[in-house]
Structure 1
């Protein structure tokens, strides 16, 4: 019995010694490297996670430039219209239109300060029916006018005052205010004078 115990004890001691020698030959994890050996470098990789939110793109619009061009005031003055002078040799101050001289019993057609037609003889209003004196303008024209008041034809009537006109009439008898002309002269006045043309009657 005693021999058996001693044998077992010896086997156990041998096992312990074998285990210790095995531990010295293989270094356990975490032990320092033996002297004379270089430890491998330790590499650490850090991964930065991408941002969860991204800032919206910023667009910078170019500044708007407004250019205002001011027009320079014109320094060119319009040329004044030439002043037309009265026709020479006639008693009227107008430069265009019809001129009537009651004292001389004559009439003219004027254009641009020149005598365009005339003088031609006339007869005017008799006593009680004077032909008005002044500056007027042609208001209307009637080729074959017939007076209801006097029941008489008055061809080539050119009115310049209500009820008063140039027209074909007797050159020997005075009128009721109108200007009597020969048939030829009245046709000329009718075709030449326009509505709005001046008519000046002087005495």
Structure 2
């Protein structure tokens, strides 16, 4: 009985030890909650890393025969982004310089703007003359009153003449100028003078004509020829042929 009274029972010892453990755990948990001090994880020592080196530009000349791959475009874009707009401006081709437009020359003072140029008059060309006559090559019958001569012409050539003629006087002169044959009559009688005018070839107003007549008296304005020449003029000249009287 005495020994049992001095030594506590085993069950009581065990319960006391368990209570001490629990109390200790609770105290530690409360301290941890009141003063949380998480420890930093152990990290390996780091060394500074150098930045990426500037890539060397590739050219087809440096690496002949190698085709550009898909990464070249990415590297070019990265280089452009890293170097900023300065490189973009330097790489861009210069803008083309516009050629200054030349102003149109002002119009000449003598020529108003928008008006048609004034044609310069062409000097008239002198008509070709038929040699030995006062007439041009356009004439088919030619008369020189001052010389009392007449010719028949064909394209500038004399086909008959010169032949003698008789013309009008001061009261009834033979008109000067260029005329054309109007009509013909082999047998004609003047109504004004009641005289015969065989082989008449009329070429001017007022009844002026070549016809057969005497050579010793002046006419009333007509050109008189002897019989043979009057016939020749009558058959040669046609309506519309040119007659020149000088």
The normalised TM-score by structure 1 is 0.57
Aligned-partner Cα distance in 1 for 2:236–2:146 = 24
In the alignment, does 2:178 pair up with 1:135?
yes
- Per-residue CA deviation, residues 35-92 of structure 1 (Å, 9 max, x unaligned), is xxxxxxxxxxxxxxxxxxxxxxxxxxxxxxxxxxxxxxxxxxxxxxxx9833211011
Q: Using CA pairs below 8 Å that are at least 6 residues apart, which structure has the higher relative contact order?
A: 1
Q: Which residue of 2 aligns with 1:95?
A: 138
Equivalences for residues 40-119 of structure 1 within 5 A: 85-119=128-162
Q: Which residue of 2 aligns with 1:176?
A: 220
In the alignment, does 2:166 pair up with 1:123?
yes
Greater per-residue strand proportion: 1
Aligned-partner Cα distance in 2 for 1:172–1:85 = 34
Q: Which residue of 1 aligns with 2:196?
A: 153
C-alpha RMSD of matched pairs (Å) = 1.5
Q: Is the 8 A contact 1:95 1:114 kept in 2?
A: no
- Which residues of structure 2 form unaligned runs of 5+? 1-125
Aligned-partner Cα distance in 2 for 1:94–1:132 = 21
Aligned-partner Cα distance in 2 for 1:168–1:112 = 25
Aligned-partner Cα distance in 2 for 1:94–1:129 = 29
Partner SS for 1:191: helix
Aligned-partner Cα distance in 1 for 2:149–2:240 = 22
The normalised TM-score by structure 2 is 0.47
Partner SS for 1:100: strand
Greater per-residue helix proportion: 2
Partner SS for 1:145: coil
Aligned length: 120
Q: Which has the larger radius of gyration?
A: 2
